[in-house]
């Protein structure tokens, strides 16, 4: 597919780099729609890495691609490198989500204490907005800023 849809694949791929293992199969499917030189940089399919590495992997810094370019080819090394990469992405997402959960705790405690469910909807909404503006940070400090850029 050409045009605007293809340009969105990298964004979709970045959004799917989460804690959920099933997202990595989706990444592989999305990556397959990219040109080979882009696909090899994001695919999570070891067979695609092995197939693309000889022609499109010479400039890649991904350990899985570098393993695929070694002679003799060691499929296990590619799979292990890819598993380590995916695990690092999942751990980064866990840290990202934990930072947001920590930042939201004062707001959640205030919500529980406010008992807004007994108020008319308009007043409950206004109270929730006021608490959010007062208690939720405008930005969350984290070491992994990659996810917010997505």
Give the three-state DSSP class for 88: helix
7 — pLDDT class (breaks 50, 70, 90) = confident
pLDDT value at 83 more than 80: yes
Mean per-residue pLDDT over the chain, rounded:
91
**How far is 20 from 24, CA to CA, in rounded Å?**
8
Closest CA to 97 of 56, 63, 147, 55: 147
pLDDT confidence band for 117 (50 / 70 / 90): confident
Q: Please name which of 3, 75, 55, 41 lies closest in space to residue 28, comparing C-alpha atoms.
A: 41
pLDDT tens digit sequence for 24-43: 999 999 999 999 999 999 99
Q: How far apart are CA 137 and CA 84, in angstroms?
A: 33
The total of structural domains in the chain comes to 1
Determine contact, residues 81/63, Cβ cutoff 8 Å: yes
Range of the domain at 131: 4-149
């Amino acid at each position: 597919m050409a045009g605007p849809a293809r340009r969105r694949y990298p964004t979709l791929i970045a959004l799917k780099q989460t804690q959920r293992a099933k997202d990595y199969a989706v990444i592989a499917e999305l990556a397959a729609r990219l040109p080979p030189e882009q696909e090899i940089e994001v695919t999570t399919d070891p067979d695609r890495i092995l197939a693309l590495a000889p022609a499109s992997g010479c400039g890649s810094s991904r350990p899985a691609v570098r393993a695929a370019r070694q002679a003799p080819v060691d499929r296990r090394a590619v799979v292990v490198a890819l598993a380590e990469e995916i695990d690092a992405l999942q751990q980064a997402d866990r840290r990202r989500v934990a930072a947001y959960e920590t930042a939201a705790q004062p707001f959640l405690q205030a919500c529980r204490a406010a008992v807004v469910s007994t108020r008319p909807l308009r007043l409950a909404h206004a109270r929730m907005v006021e608490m959010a503006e007062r208690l939720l940070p405008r930005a969350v400090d984290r070491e992994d800023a990659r996810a917010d850029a997505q």
